[in-house]
Structure 1
Amino acid sequence: MLNQSTTGFHQLSWAQAAAHLDSQQIDYVIVTVIKTLGSVPRASGTKMLVSLTDIYDTIGGGHLEYKAIKKARELLGQTNSEPFIEQFKLGANLGQCCGGQATVLFEVMHSHSLKLDVYGAGHVAQALMPIIQHLPVQIRWIDSRKEVFPAKVDPRITVVVDEDPTEQAKLADANTASLILTHNHQLDFALVQTILTRNDALWLGVIGSETKAKRFAYKLSHRDFSPEQIKQMICPVGLPQIQGKLPMEVAVSIAGQLISLYQSWSKQQKSDHNPVEKAELSATTPNMETTE
């Protein structure tokens, strides 16, 4: 699917889309035709913008555009942000009759915000979202049930409906924080197993009790997960000093922990560009995986 959030083509130009996605802190790739030879659909300088869920503008359509979109999304799944150039022959290989050649530049534009995937759209998640939507955090809200989402969701939050939420866990960017709040313990465990198998999560929180945490740890140990991997799972999630079982009480507890995570992450990002500050921070900042 080329566009997940709209039917047909977007009305925004690639430049308008870039400004919009920057404001939403969403990663994207600028695809530019930089050189042409012979007959091609579009001239040099033509641009298109590709995100994980949508495309804006066009470099001429057809198989050339399809291959360019596929390549752009492959690059979005990588940590390397270096520009990439590829040459496409518009003959038999791409099924286009133009017969020319197009050289295409791919520029990956990664946002520098913390990424948070929230699985489950039940009562706790719905109480949590109005709190954390004001943080400068890129949030994906994921559930298999379209009907459980509120009628109106803040535009800063990306709603994802997937019959199998574990597929979204497989597609998540590296260094994403994941919060599991689903209605189903079996799904919770499948998500935990998928995220820990990837071994690249920034943080993993799971709603539940001490009993649930012990049960999950036991099952994970019998699936060859190491003690270090299992320790990455924070369950019960939330600040222990905030008690209560009402959805809003649980949401406030989780929000406090997420704010602590975000603040630690922000300090780390700043220190990575300042060696002196980085040394000072490493001696004073708790590990983000165990911040409570």
Structure 2
Amino acid sequence: MADLSLLTSFVRAAEHGSFSAAARSLGVSAAAVSKNVAHLEAHVGVRLFHRSTRRLALTGSGERFLAQVHEPLASLDAAIAGIRDDPDEPSGTLKVSMGQALGRNFLVPLLNEFLERCPAVVPDWHFDNRRIDLVGEGFDAAIGGGFELAQGLVARELAPVHIVAVASPAYLDGRPLPQQPGDFAELAGIMRRSTPSGRVRPWTLRPRRGGVDQPVPCRPRLILSDPEAISLAARQGLGVALVPMPFAFAHIASGALVRLLPGWYSDAGPLSLYYPSRRLLPAKTSAFVDFVVERFRTGGFAKLVDGR
């Protein structure tokens, strides 16, 4: 049987596409990872990677082998991690990734309650509006939207997230309120550029009671790539914006932003909690998952990000 370190080096190299990136995630040298993979190839008698100076790619045999060992290895890792924990008392560092507005407005206010339930857990929370490699970067869980469900991950949907049209009272002063999507044509629009594609996202809205997405004409005034920056620009009176509810609901409630066309919204997809698919989750991760799912169900959080 191959040593677990050989299998771990192989799986991490396959996930990251390079020996050096795999080495960083494991805290060892790239030479050690390369040597482990070479030993594994010698042990199984087949080449698992195509190697070149620019890239590392799985062979056909390597792809089949990865599919067979990935889940069992994850279960073994979980068992080893779990045996260190008292199953009745979650403990250890809990590394979680979440969006900035989501974390500040939803998760940080729950910290005291969570720590009362799990006093031996040390939250290590990362506030990033980016797509992460959950397994490769060593996260226990992530909360967000738009993640691709990679192999070995589970997604628990927390709430649908909607995008709504907003503007500041100062910008709206002296202007008639839009009554339909076409009325946005003469207003200054704060547009969003998609970070993954680099494209400026077109505006669409749909009515609450049925119907389909309708294009919303606008006169671009600003183009920003971050929804928090777009929300701030709208609060400064620079124009009208379409903003995801996590970045808008508190400012609508305070009066800093006015929602336009109430009942009209755009679907931003679900907000989900992601974690590794393991038969034996570490107690700290299991406790966190159960806590967040429960609080989103009972605490009314879903209503705050619902634009309908």
TM range (shorter): under 0.3
Q: Which structure's residues are more often strand, by fraction?
A: 2
Higher RCO (CA-CA < 8 Å; seq separation 6+): 2
User: Which TM-score applies when normalising by structure 2?
Assistant: 0.22
